[in-house]
Structure 1
């Protein structure tokens, strides 16, 4: 199984008739995407390596956004059989690391938010940095939301087995700690903000406890952090979106979001 297939195991709950609640990581990703879509209701959500088990489109759909699921060719073929493309939801067969999927984003001036759940940890560090730079270059005014394992989890070059699916997974090659987050902005000049997405509905104390847990590797299952990267340029490059939707004021004024 390749890195782009790492999150592809399972079957979509709308197909099987089952419904599993989203994990804490998924809820944090959802929170960031919803916030972006509120500012840009006609945006495109690009789900990298989404696989077959995600119901994110139906959780996040506002009736106007467009959804592009980028999959490896093998996974895309199966996904299209189970979930045929619709007017606002489609699947693209393309490795996430060759960036050809960027050309498939329609009307990027309306806003683009890219999600990468359970994916980046399987890529090599130069591939991750190249992804950050490509998105910053090609998606002005957009955002990238991803999860990451702690750095101590990465670099163990041995295959693993997913306990839920019994499928072999590639080794973890990339991780990120809180101290690494400021350095992400160095991947490209158009990265204007990098922030952690905290667990929803929890106070600051819970967030501190979650960060402390990441530094005690023997006492817990590795906790994933969720990070949002924002790119500058939409407010000045494209102006208001369709239907008079306002551009992000931080982008228009050239300010850094916190």
Structure 2
């Protein structure tokens, strides 16, 4: 618990000043690779986990037990603080969300995000009051831990084709009032939207490096008020791209050029097999 508390404090402090990237491994191996590059913390990715299992993301095809087992393997692979993408909290009620946070802490995590998306076709986003009740339950469970468990509250409007910046800000403000430590609206469409979100809140904001934000640097995003930058599914998608490109070469011309730039066996073994 002393080690977990130290990680939790360190993770919380990262949000106080400056801007940092929290990359998203999807298994123990990628967690080790990222930890070796000097990042200060890691975050799991629900999409990366789903893709690695041959499933779609955001469709309730990964349950709480599977998500937390994956998160635990990432926690155990590095000495870094790890926060988790726990989707909507894996349950229909606020009590379910609270139980998910308690079990996340037991898995060694020091933070988690809870989103207002439902995973249900036709009702992609919860009503504000319902979403706030779930964030409140997450915060109460987090505050009951013997260390500062960081709750990130997500407003997923833009992620689900609802480009309503006013409503997104209203939701984030309500989540902040409910006690969330960090606020997050993935897929914001512009730097102007990022600036509007950050200026409307008095708590740290996480943004997703995607779309037009890919043209901005960490320094530029920090100047807009961003404290934390996550990558979501970008890294697993980059890995999938590499496999697809290799498959196209093998199935097409029948050549092996992709392997020339691949990590060597000994190097891979040393990177991933070391303790």
Normalised by the shorter chain, which TM-score bucket? Answer: 0.3 to 0.5
Structure with the higher fraction of residues in strand conformation: 1
Structure with the higher fraction of residues in helix conformation: 2
TM-score normalized with structure 1 length: 0.34
TM-score normalized with structure 2 length: 0.32
